[in-house]
Structure 1
Amino acid sequence: MIEYLKPEILIYAKITKDFINQGISSAIEEFNIENTNTITVIKIPLEEIEYVTGLIIDLPFYSLKNWNKPKIQLQIITQNRPDSLSRLIHSLNASYYFGDDNITLTINMDRGADPVTIEFCSKFLWNHGSKNVRHRVIQGGLLPAVVESYYPNDYNDYGILLEDDVEVSPFYYLWVKYTILKYRYGPAKYQRLFGISLYGQRQMELHMVGRRPYDPESIFHGTKFPSRSPYLSQVPCSWGAVYFPEIWKEFHEYLIRRLDDESNYHSQEIIVPNSRSSFKWKKSWKKYFIELIYLRGYVMLYPNYKNFTSFSTNHAEIGIHIHLIKDKPEPVTIFGVPLMKDFTLYDELPNNHLTDFTELPVTNLWGNLTTFNDLINRGINLHNNISQCPPHYKEENDQLNFSTQDIFCVDEEKKRNTTTQDYINFEKQHRESLTESDQRASTTSVI
């Protein structure tokens, strides 16, 4: 019958509990192997079909046709919190994956990993794809640990970055699958979307005066936007998010050049106006990513459910960037959000489905409503202050090339002179610090 109908998409329930239906499923899978280039086969475990019905109804044909194209990497960053890591792994294993069985999970342990963590990483089971374990021999810290954990194989390769004090909802993967298929594999491409957050923001951290509570519902009140609409934000999420390949590769390129300039040349001073990240976040990978985001007008999609219900939460355990402060609330009371345990993913979305991208609210680094044109123009203004070359685009719909060459366009002569002058200044300071006898000895040894 399948050969007679010649479908382009075949959706079926994968049943493993009785022999008759298992035989039917096996026959369909065999047919899929023989026709892999012509038919998109979507196999959903029977017990999970109820969760994907709304998604299948909403997504256009073109998105469904690409159901199997996106590949997901789970990148977990850990060191010496085995209990936290165990909680995260348990939540990942308890989640629904809707028949996807090629999800790579990689543990990235820093040098300081303790024996319990190392043993746990070697023994836990992952049944939804391959499992990899990495261990640094030189302490990297969070910046390289996060940034180097994920590098895409191609432009269908996505990275979900999870620190070990994060926990996920059983429905996190459905949110990822739905949003990626909707906004990446539909008829239109939205090139400034750099990722999908699993976490609903309840604090805005980039105000110069410090952290401020944030509630998107109050921002949307009195506007055309529904109170529960997902929204676009320039703030990158580090507490559970999927990052997109083109822009993450661009970020790698940006970071290499940016750190090289900071260490050697000091030819560019890149400061995001009025952003706390440029002045207080000295060792954070997000500081540099925010620079790139601001320069390019990039955005991330955030969920916006009642009471900040999210697909990930942060237990805000003590670490490099989180500290207990006397007479201050515990961090988890500030950053923790409820996980979606009951299935309400579609119920609170406007009209029970994801809004078209062009209708989503757009917010800036401080959580204020804005437009793409405003974000792009602000980025161009900063770009023109730091680079001798114009940006490779002028307007929202211009094609991006995801290269940072236009940003790091400086006077090479000035760069060389800066390096020479830095060396001269170093020599001068060094000699001034020596005693008179040391100077004579130094001069003699040079001769």
Structure 2
Amino acid sequence: MNPFFGSVFWLLVTLGVLVTFHEFGHYWVARRCGVKVLRFSVGFGTPIWRRIGKDGTEYQIAAIPLGGYVKMLDAREGEVDPELRDQEFTAKSVWKRIAIVAAGPGFNLIFTVFAFWAMFMLGKPDYAPVVSATPQTLAAEAGIRNGDRVLEVDGKPVDTISDAMEAVANGLLGREPLPLLVRGTDGAQRTVVLPLNKLPPGQDIVQYMGKLGLSLAPPTAAIGKVTEGEAAAAAGLQGGDRILSVNGQPIGDWLDFQKLIPAEATKSPRLSVAVERDGKVLPPIVVTARFKSLQGQPAGWVIGVAPMPMEQVVQHFGPVRALGESLRSTWDRTAATFNMIAKLITGEASTKNLSGVVGIAQVANQMAGQGLTPFLEFLGLVSLSLAIINLLPIPVLDGGHLLYYLIELVKGSPVSERTMMAGQYVGLALLLTMMGLAFYNDIHRIILPS
């Protein structure tokens, strides 16, 4: 699928599922609190399907699949039949109104736990937290060596490269020194402190990551497979051989090897490859590289070898353990999100880190292309974000309504209509400002990528 149409399609799927589930939370709790629901709509705009349920609720699917909405019987929106007064929203106790409003974010939170649970049940594939440092970056300056395995980030154990990089990304928000416990290729453990305080202020996470220079380590310079009939097999190279040098130039990892082959073969296709086999260094083996083309197009120099597979970690648990891991992951992501919000408010983190629907669409398309478990994790994260954002005490959002009801509990009477209207305008302005800034950031990243 074309990347643009793929992004649009998966954005619609993501928002359609999550916003509808959010609205279903309002609907379900409202019904149980005795509030009459007039309409439950999946999507907005002109209905393309509609029916009236036995309870009198109008159920519909509308043309614009960007979520949905619930319309309840509400005296603030018009006259209410006296016979239905006890089923009207504002006639309910403040605690019931709080429950109805909080149900939307609550159902998003439930969806997050379920999505993570399903992901761990199916098995989440990942790589081991083995890292490397780009030369002349902060990670290299701190003492990260190629092949170091990250055991802990700021005292918290990590099992996968995703966990490690996520913890580092959270640390980047505060730009404070971040300790990592690592185990080197020699088996010795040591603590490395990333000097994040040296990063300049006012940049986003992607830019900080580039300056930090910490990344998943490339495959080692060990041959995993030798293709029959190719130059390497003819010369005697074998699977398990560790490549030491090419034409006398040392090899650190597989990326070095990939770069040297075309560079040296361009000078002469006869390459002198030194390898270590079974702990012994063999005399240089002469391999004649071959230039291959693909459907008439130049492809490059090849000798017919592939690297050892990178160490993978699959987080695959039974139902009970998966639920525990899901709850832990939800808690950790919630804490990280609130940490980011706090740092955005205090100015410690740049507003360039905000992302909107364009960014969500791009990531949705990428995750969907990687398989079901990555997409489940993505849905869980977006659902959690929707829950947290909706709970912010901003009028227009659910959190703003909850704020009004909490004030009502304290003062003993509802907030005046004038105050609520003023709050709605302020909240709408704040929301539009945030959305505009997020949209600007998304477009800026596309036009001027880091």
Which structure carries more helix by proportion? 2
Whether TM-score is above 0.5 comes out as no
TM-score band, normalised by shorter chain: under 0.3
Greater Rg over alpha carbons, structure:
2
Which structure carries more strand by proportion? 2
TM-score (norm 1): 0.22
TM-score (norm 2): 0.22
